[in-house]
Amino acid sequence: MERSIYLDCAATTPVAREVKAVMVPYLEDEWGNPSSRHARGVRVMSAIDEARASLAALVGIADEGVVFTSGGTEANNLAVLGAARARSARVGGTGHVLLGPSEHPCVSRAAEALAEEGFDVETGRHADDGALDLEDFVERMREDTVLVAVMLASNEHGGTYPVRTIASRARERSPHAHVHTDAVQAFGKLALDLPELGVDSAAVSAHKVHGPKGSGALLVAGNAPLRPLFFGGGQERGVRSGTENPAGIVGFVRAAVLADDSQEETLAHLRRLRGVLASEIDALERSVRVLSPGGENAVLPSIAAMLLPDPPDAPAEVVLHHLEERGVLASAGSACNSKKKDASPAMTSLGLGPEEVLRILRFSFSRSTTEDDVRVGVRALGDVLEELASKIEPARADRRP
């Protein structure tokens, strides 16, 4: 395989060897349908039961609260659509839905679908320091609010949100509300304990924590009602019909257990990486600004969104491909040719202009990222910025009278 420095762990992570090892039997000999009544099926269901119990114990909920899904997107859709629809009757029809200011599209677009059904959908805003404007957010909670959804940490800039406070304020102000958090990025890095957070549900995904793609779960506390998105054979207690994905489930749970075992070390490791990033960026002497909404301590240290300098007048996507040429894989906040109106709301709500949003480059780390990876990555970034400045700026200067 090509050698590269992979700094795009918020997109996905490599499957851990131990994870693959527990999956293989379910792709080879143990191919039974978990719903079958014969032993071949029952054995597989037992493995799923065991996985379910492990995951439930990790996050402090009952086994029945684990709904295995095809990943984070489905889990978030199930929470947003399923919870709002299940509760709308209590508030006399539709109801009010309140979202955090930088939710992932699998939350915000699902909420758009609710708006089309007649729900009143509202979005919170960031305060000047980039943190959630909590007071404003709490103000928006209403008697008829059926859903409050705020992510634990942003996939775009790593900013975290005070989900625990939000959940407890929601209990006071909105008795009918289901409180959901998208924990896809935070899972495995921050401790996730549902009763402690006080939320009704959290969405998690396997492939962000060295598990397989196509697997995830909605973790549900208590008996929060959910209307299913899929109907069929009644699997997952009727909330998510469809034959289970045994290899994906056991792989996911193994990955979750591994992540949980090392969660504190991982967090400490990620903080060190962010420290290395900061000092390497200082050494570049170029005005690369690492975004830290709400202050450095409030940012998930696995994600570093960097505002690149101008000059060079190059979008982050161009920088990204130049980095790729040097073997460093990263991601850009927005595609080069994306229209201004498509600029990420998470970024614009941090006060960045459309031109600036195009200059956001993201490095993201996992426990397998090394300090050297970060050093090489930042130095390569320095080289690319220098190269682009020398290539692009003279031509621009030329045309200025």
Does residue 321 touch another protein according to CB under 8 A? Answer: yes
| Per annotation, catalytic residue among 105, 336, 340, 386 | 336
Does residue 314 touch another protein according to CB under 8 A? Answer: yes
Question: Closer CB to another protein, residue 12 or residue 338?
Answer: 338
- The stretch among 190-198, 251-259, 294-302, 389-397 that binds another protein (CB under 8 A) is 389-397
The torsion of the CA quartet 180, 181, 187, 191, rounded to 10 degrees, works out to -90
At residue 292, what is the residue type? S
9 is catalytic: no
Does residue 391 touch another protein according to CB under 8 A? Answer: yes
Site for another protein (CB under 8 A): which residue of 182, 244, 317, 356? 317
The nearest distance, CB 337 to another protein, in angstroms, is: 5
- The stretch among 13-21, 120-128, 256-264, 310-318 that binds another protein (CB under 8 A) is 310-318
Beta bridge partners of 273: none
Does residue 336 touch another protein according to CB under 8 A? Answer: yes
CB atoms within 10 A of CB 232: 11
Site for another protein (CB under 8 A): which residue of 313, 376, 382, 383? 313
Does residue 398 touch another protein according to CB under 8 A? Answer: yes
Does residue 11 touch another protein according to CB under 8 A? Answer: no
CA dist., res. 50 & res. 42, Å (int): 12
The nearest distance, CB 214 to another protein, in angstroms, is: 22
Does residue 320 touch another protein according to CB under 8 A? Answer: yes
* Site size toward another protein, by CB under 8 A: 21
- The stretch among 54-62, 241-249, 345-353, 391-399 that binds another protein (CB under 8 A) is 391-399
Does residue 362 touch another protein according to CB under 8 A? Answer: no
Does residue 315 touch another protein according to CB under 8 A? Answer: yes
The nearest distance, CB 355 to another protein, in angstroms, is: 11
Q: Which residues are catalytic?
A: 336
Site residues (vs another protein, CB under 8 A)? 313-315, 317-318, 320-322, 324-325, 335-338, 388, 391-392, 394-395, 398-399
